[in-house]
Amino acid sequence: MRDFESKDGVMMFGGMPVTEIADRFGTPVYATDERRLRENYRNIRDAFARHIDTRIHYACKANTNIALLAILAQEGSGIDAVSVGEVMTCLKAGFRPEDIMYTGVNVSDAELKAVTDLGVMINVDSFSELERLAAINRDLPISFRVTPGVGSGHSAKVTTGHEGSKFGIPKERIVEAYLRARDLGFDIKGIHAHIGSGGQRTEPFTDSLEILIDITNRLAEKGIDLEFIDIGGGIGVPYRPNEEEMDVDGLGACLADMVKEETGVKTLILEPGRYIVCDTTVLLTRCVDMKDAGAKKYVGVDAGFNTLIRPAMYDSYHHAAVGNRFGKACTSKYDIVGPICESGDCLAHDRALPDPREGDVIVIYNAGAYGFSMSGNYNSRPLCREVLVSDGEAELIREAESVEEQWRHQRIPERLLR
């Protein structure tokens, strides 16, 4: 888990006191450290690129803020997109169509047509999709997503590569899919598998890659030579204090050696999302209420699971600190709870904190991946601001939504206005 400096008892973030960010932009607010974002991208790129030709396709579903995407475009990243909306957002941020791979699931004909019109590579998920794509456009590069029968992830809800998964073509039928694509005249480029999100062990990645290598070699025997193997994403990060980081350098060396020694493929693609953006961002929320309920003590804050849903949805752990008394001795344990009318609206359980008070700035760590991107309007609460912090300066990169903006697509039938 990332460490932060303290200055005069206040947490520093990107060279700024978190209290200054909260006071200037209001709370709740997501704050992202630009320098950390660039460092994380370069770290994962170099961990693999020093061993094999590597293309990083940022899994943008983790965070699609256009400013953050523009930074990654500057760094030379590619994109893993899962919807036509993500494709369009990344194009707006400065990515080229050839930088983007579209990996949809249960894709409609309308979305297939829209994506092919944008000129990006399609990562085909099913036989049905292949046949429907052939009727729409065969003049584009494709790869296939295979279900390797290997699953990994921090929750069953984000494990994707296991047998029976809704994602991909079962490994037992994948060669058949490639042969059919060749018959249809597609330009076949590679193979892809994604086993899940947030894995912290090397073995599931090597197990999945062994299957991809076997398929690749069987395809070569049938005259289909692939340009790349895409191992997907899912490299986890430490959310808890003293939790060890994954050895990405060791992982890169191991996977690169497997590809080079066992295939003729020259390029490896990986699709990190969480690894790149997770610890770049904190959620700043203000204590608005204190309550001693006897069996529990509560810190009431102005961010709820409408702002950060991961703890409620996945039972995920996010570290929390009092930003304006950072590093002070803890006095008791508290649940940090929000304003949503649900008992499940809890950002953190049983956290030791230094005597919280109304007005304190509570900092929720590791909020960059699936924080804002999964936020919503439950209880008719507006989406919050996002800011980018760089060398002690903060810039607004998303305006806060107003209540009125939530009504903009609603219509009242004329008969109800009488």
* Active-site residue set: 341
328: which DSSP letter?
P
CB 148 within 8 A of CB 174: no
Side-chain-facing half-sphere of 65: CA atoms under 13 Å: 27
The three-state secondary structure class of 410 is: coil
The structure tokens 């899912």 sit at 234
Q: What is the 3-state secondary structure (H, E, C) of 70-128?
A: HHHHHHCCEEEECCHHHHHHHHHCCCCHHHEEECCCCCCHHHHHHHHHCCCEEEECCHH
Q: What are phi and psi of 89, to 5 degrees?
A: -65, -40
Beta strands of 115-222 (E only): which ranges?
Answer: 121-124, 141-147, 169-170, 187-192
Are residues 358 and 289 in contact, defined by beta-carbon separation less than 8 angstroms?
yes
User: End-to-end CA distance of the chain, in Å?
Assistant: 58
Tokens of 155: 């929750």
Q: Collapse the DSSP code of 323 into the 3-class scheme (helix H, G, I; strand E, B; otherwise coil) and give the result.
A: helix
Instruction: Take residue 323 and report the two structure tokens written for it.
Output: 């930003």
State how far the alpha carbon of 213 is from the alpha carbons of 51, 267, 342, in Å: 17, 13, 47
Does residue 260 sit in helix, strand or coil? Answer: helix
Q: Is the peptide bond before 28 cis (omega within 30 degrees of 0)?
A: yes
The CB-based long-range contact list for 130-139 (8 Å cut-off, 24+ gap) reads 130/177, 130/180, 130/181, 130/184, 134/184, 134/186, 136/109, 136/112, 137/113, 138/184, 138/185, 138/186, 139/187
- How far is 367 from 158, CA to CA, in rounded Å? 17
Which residue is it, tokens 């256009």? 66
Distance CA 356, CA 27 (A): 17
